[in-house]
């Protein structure tokens, strides 16, 4: 290794390192850009949902659409509520109100840019005596002391304008055609939408029903799954494993095959149009039994053998030893069942539908509201916000179990 090659190699290493850092920055930047892009796509509908829930009905039909809820600004001038406008003045765009209307005015046009027009009182424009040709027409040119300073514009035709005065400074005055003047708007969330929707069309009742059904389905499924999972993992009886395979094989059968006969069964039992039809058939879940069984199998046998010697019965061993140890599996199953019960749609649609609005669950209430929301989508969105808030809150607290649920089963 000769002495004079050393600086060369150092430089090479430095260049390599710089290249690698650059490459890292580029690839990481690209990765974050893609991730952020998808995050925006995933989040936008929810942002839109919350914003729309806070809008006025007219605001939801605005074009071009705006995300944030806005409503026209109103101010009290001389004891009266008047609409405010946002117009360019000599002091920049200001909030102004209409002080006088019907002023004789001209519609002036910039000879160099026929798209740029300005409506201004004729009394305040002074004729320069020259003419300009706009679109083949010779028009008289006026000098105007307008909001953007003194300009020379050609008079196209006559019109009438209103005089607008700034709310905070009576000396700031501007003119505009009243009909097309831009209204002043402010971001103005309509929080009362939420109280309105709760009082409207039994929505609170639907919320209660969903909570009730969800609690019962989650609790009941946990109970049966823990019992079944224990039997299939720890109690020996003839044909046990064959029964287990057949039972979890039923996971593959889609619910839609059952929907017709299950509905007939509900008819026979007299459960149609009752909340019971949403609860009792759904307390038994092959997937839940499978999940609990898989977890119980992994619990070391020594633990219960010691308890057996103490003379403890199986029932006590299950609830005293197995259940406390199985908290992760139970939480996973609970989150899964929660989502299932909270969001189920097709079965309530069939078994309750329009028969009895008192027994609507949230999904049905939303769907009905969606069909009627022609005139007030804001209330519909307030309802949607309420319906997704609970799953989101549960998700925030139990994120780990949601992800675990997906990772262990992949069942939706």
Partner 1 sequence: MTAAIGEAPVLGTDADPRWFAPLLVWRGIVAVALAALTLGAVVQRGLVLDGPIRWVLVAALAGATAAAVMALLWTRRRDHRGRVTGFALDGLIGVIAAFIALNRMDIFTGLDAVGDEFNGSASWLLLIVLGWLVSGFADRTGTNAEFVKTAARYTMLVGLAVLLLTMNLLAGILEFVQRAVGTEVIAFTAVAIVAFTFTKILWGDRAAALFNTNQSQAETLEGLLFVAPNALGFLTFFAGPLVVSLFISFTEWDGLTDAVFVGFQHYADLLSDDLFLRSLRNILVFGVIAIPAAVVPALLLAALLNSKLPGMRVFRAIYFLPSIAGVVGVTLIWKQLFNSTVGFLNYAILQVTDFFNGLFGSGLTAPQPQWISDSNIALFSVIILFAWQTIGFNTVLFLAGMQGIDGGLYEAADIDGASPWVRFRRITVPLLKPTTVFVVATTTILALQLFNEPFILQSPAPPAGPGNSTLTPVVYLYQNAFQQFQIGYASAVAWALFILIFGVTLLYFRRQGEDGVLTA
Residues 202-221 that bind partner 1 (CB under 8 A): 204-205, 208-209, 211-212, 216
382/96 Cα distance (integer angstroms): 33
| Binds partner 1 (CB under 8 A): choice among 22, 158, 223, 328 | 223
Q: At what angle do helices 192-199 and 203-234 cross, to 10 degrees?
A: 80
241-247 long-range contacts, CB within 8 A, separation 24+: 244/293, 247/286, 247/289, 247/290
| Binds partner 1 (CB under 8 A): choice among 7, 245, 300, 311 | 245
- Of the two residues 176 and 384, which places its CB atom closer to partner 1 in the complex? 384
Question: Least separation, in Å, of the C-beta of 389 and partner 1?
Answer: 10
56 binds partner 1 (CB under 8 A): no
- Of the two residues 103 and 272, which places its CB atom closer to partner 1 in the complex? 272
242/302 Cα distance (integer angstroms): 26
Residues 378-407 that bind partner 1 (CB under 8 A): 380-381, 384, 387-388, 391-392, 395, 399, 402-403, 406-407
Question: Least separation, in Å, of the C-beta of 176 and partner 1?
Answer: 26
List helix spans (H) across 54-179.
57-60
| Binds partner 1 (CB under 8 A): choice among 227, 312, 321, 325 | 227
- Of the two residues 168 and 327, which places its CB atom closer to partner 1 in the complex? 327
Residues 274-313 that bind partner 1 (CB under 8 A): 274-276, 279-284, 286, 289, 294, 297
Residues 154-213 that bind partner 1 (CB under 8 A): 204-205, 208-209, 211-212
List helix spans (H) across 250-359.
256-269, 276-279, 286-297, 301-309, 314-317, 323-325, 327-343, 346-351
| Binds partner 1 (CB under 8 A): choice among 6, 13, 35, 99 | 35
314 binds partner 1 (CB under 8 A): yes
44/188 Cα distance (integer angstroms): 20
Residues 75-104 that bind partner 1 (CB under 8 A): none
Burial 353-391 (b: 16+ CB within 10 A, else e): eeeeeebbbbbbbbebbeeebeebbbbbbbbbbbbbebe
164/227 Cα distance (integer angstroms): 77
Stretch that binds partner 1, among 79-87, 93-101, 301-309, 346-354 (CB under 8 A): 346-354
List helix spans (H) across 127-272.
192-199, 203-234, 240-249, 256-269
| Binds partner 1 (CB under 8 A): choice among 1, 42, 138, 309 | 42
Q: Which of 275, 277, 278, 280 is nearest to 359 (CA)?
A: 275
How many residues sit close enough to partner 1 to count as binding (CB under 8 A)?
A: 113
Residues 316-335 that bind partner 1 (CB under 8 A): 318
65 binds partner 1 (CB under 8 A): yes
């Amino acid at each position: 290794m000769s002495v004079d090659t050393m600086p060369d190699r150092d430089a090479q290493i430095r260049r390599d390192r710089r290249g690698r850092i650059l490459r890292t920055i580029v690839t990481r930047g690209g990765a974050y850009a893609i991730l952020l892009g998808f995050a925006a796509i995933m989040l936008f509908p929810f942002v839109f949902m919350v914003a729309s829930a806070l809008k006025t009905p007219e605001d939801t039909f605005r074009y071009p659409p705006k995300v944030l809820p806005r409503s026209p600004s109103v101010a009290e001038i001389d004891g009266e509520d008047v609409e405010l406008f946002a117009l360019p003045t000599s002091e920049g765009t200001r909030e102004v109100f209409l002080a006088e209307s019907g002023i004789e005015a001209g519609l002036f046009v910039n000879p160099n840019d026929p798209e740029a027009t300005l409506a201004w009182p004729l009394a305040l424009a002074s004729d320069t005596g020259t003419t300009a040709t706009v679109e083949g027409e010779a028009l008289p040119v006026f000098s105007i002391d307008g909001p953007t300073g003194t300009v020379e514009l050609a008079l196209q035709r006559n019109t009438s304008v209103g005089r607008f005065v700034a709310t905070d400074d009576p000396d700031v005055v501007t003119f505009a055609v009243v009909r097309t003047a831009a209204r002043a708007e402010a971001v103005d969330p309509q929080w009362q939408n939420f109280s309105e929707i709760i009082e409207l069309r039994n929505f609170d009742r639907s919320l209660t029903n969903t909570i009730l059904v969800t609690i019962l389905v989650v609790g009941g499924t946990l109970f049966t799954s823990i019992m079944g999972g224990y039997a299939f993992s720890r109690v020996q009886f003839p044909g046990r494993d064959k029964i287990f395979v057949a039972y979890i094989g039923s996971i593959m059968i889609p619910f839609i095959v059952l929907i017709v006969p299950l509905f007939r069964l509900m008819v026979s039992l007299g459960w149609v149009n009752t909340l019971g039809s949403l609860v009792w058939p759904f307390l038994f879940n092959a997937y839940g039994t499978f999940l609990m069984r898989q977890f119980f199998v992994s619990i070391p046998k020594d633990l219960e053998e010691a308890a057996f010697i103490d003379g403890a019965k199986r029932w006590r061993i299950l609830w005293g030893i197995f259940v406390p140890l199985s908290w992760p599996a139970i939480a996973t199953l609970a989150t899964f069942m929660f989502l299932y019960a909270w969001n189920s749609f097709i079965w309530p649609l069939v078994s309750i539908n329009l028969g009895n609005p008192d027994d609507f669950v949230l999904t049905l209430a939303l769907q009905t509201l969606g069909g009627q929301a022609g005139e007030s989508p804001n209330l519909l969105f307030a309802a949607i916000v309420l319906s997704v808030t609970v799953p989101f809150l549960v998700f925030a607290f139990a994120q780990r179990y949601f992800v675990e649920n997906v990772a262990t089963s992949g069942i939706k």
